[in-house]
């Protein structure tokens, strides 16, 4: 039986507001993790390794290669029941597992480490609260949506969202 790599788990607790304010605080923390992660030598090396064989100056090919790497190699799993958790992009890359915010932070960090601006998109499906996050990357004068939690192509967006907010 193959087991996931054993990576020491470290935690830091923060208290977040309840409801919508807590969601926006989480997205702010995701941006902070991305801003730190894009400067990480581990993240930059991973990004360069993924895009190495794409044609030079084929920007969208690099974006898609990084998206497919995260989508196909990082396993989606839910957070602890009732607890919002966030991992650094380095930790998500090492563990090869995370939820939608972890996969989005990793992908945003990889993209930004090689020059592509990103923004987070949060969505509601029932109008009662924000429940999913993914991102968009700016490539060749257009924003491309990237949801690394679904086995879909770049550019796909969940069709049943009733509300969308972009950071």
Residue whose entry in the numeric block shows the structure tokens 């930004």 = 112
The tens digit of pLDDT for each residue in 2-41 reads 556 666 655 555 556 667 778 889 999 999 999 999 999 9
Q: Cα dihedral sign for 49, 54, 57, 63? A: negative
**Domain residue spans of the chain:** 20-166
The tens digit of pLDDT for each residue in 87-142 reads 999 999 999 999 999 999 999 999 999 999 999 999 888 777 778 899 999 999 99
Decide: 35 and 57 in contact? Cβ < 8 Å.
no
The tens digit of pLDDT for each residue in 50-79 reads 999 999 888 899 999 999 999 999 999 998
**20-166: CATH, from 3.10.620.30, 3.20.20.60, 3.30.1780.10, 3.30.70.100:** 3.10.620.30
How far is Cα 69 from Cα 110, in angstroms, rounded to an integer?
10
Pairwise pLDDT comparison (129 vs 157), residue with the higher score? 157
How far is Cα 63 from Cα 150, in angstroms, rounded to an integer?
16
Please give the model's pTM, rounded to 2 decimal places: 0.90
């Amino acid at each position: 039986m193959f087991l996931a790599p054993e990576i020491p788990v470290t935690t830091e607790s923060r208290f977040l507001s309840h409801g919508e304010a807590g969601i926006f605080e989480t997205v702010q923390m995701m941006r902070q993790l991305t801003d730190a992660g894009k400067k990480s030598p581990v993240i930059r090396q991973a990004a360069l390794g993924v895009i190495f064989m794409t044609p030079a100056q084929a920007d969208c090919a690099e974006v898609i290669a990084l998206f497919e790497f995260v989508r196909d190699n990082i396993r989606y799993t839910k957070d602890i029941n009732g607890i919002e958790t966030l991992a650094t992009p380095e930790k998500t890359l090492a563990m090869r597992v995370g939820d939608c915010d972890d996969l989005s932070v990793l992908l945003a960090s990889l993209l930004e480490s090689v020059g592509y601006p990103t923004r987070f998109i949060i969505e509601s499906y029932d109008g009662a609260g924000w429940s999913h996050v993914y991102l968009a990357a700016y490539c060749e004068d257009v924003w491309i949506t990237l949801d690394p939690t679904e086995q879909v192509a770049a550019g796909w967006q969940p069709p049943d969202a009733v509300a969308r907010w972009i950071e």
